[in-house]
Amino acid sequence: MTTNQNGENKIPKLNTKELILVFFETLSARCWARLGLIPDEYGEMKQDLDEARLAIDVLDKIIEGMDGKIEEKILKEMRGVVSNLKLNYVNQYEKSQKRSED
């Protein structure tokens, strides 16, 4: 956010690609939280693997839609984020299965 002459916060204007990237970052942060690995935006630790899986699926589709429309370097970073989320999802899912078996 920027501040105008009157000291008021002003939301910067984003083009569609920038807005999608902000959404990607926000959704990936929420996904980490729903994996139960970091606190969410409210400071709570809450694991919800169904929500995490939904977020991962949507993030995959965002990458698919952005392919060829943004720099390859940024796309590669996005793919890396989703790959890490997927690996952690599998890990957390397996842990939850073991807990339910006990």
Predicted pLDDT at 56? 98
Predicted pLDDT at 11? 81
Tokens describing residue 87 = 């690996």
Higher pLDDT, 78 or 99: 78
User: In terms of Cα–Cα distance, which of 85, 78, 52 is closest to 63?
Assistant: 78
- Give domain limits for the chain: 15-101
Predicted pLDDT at 101? 86
**% of residues, the chain, pLDDT over 70:** 96
The pLDDT of 36-64, averaged and rounded, is 97
What average pLDDT is seen over the chain?
Answer: 93
User: In terms of Cα–Cα distance, which of 15, 16, 24, 14 is closest to 79?
Assistant: 24
**Pairing outcome for strands 2-3 and 9-10:** antiparallel
CA separation for the pair 14, 22 (Å, rounded) = 9
- Asked whether the predicted pLDDT for residue 61 surpasses 80, the reply is yes
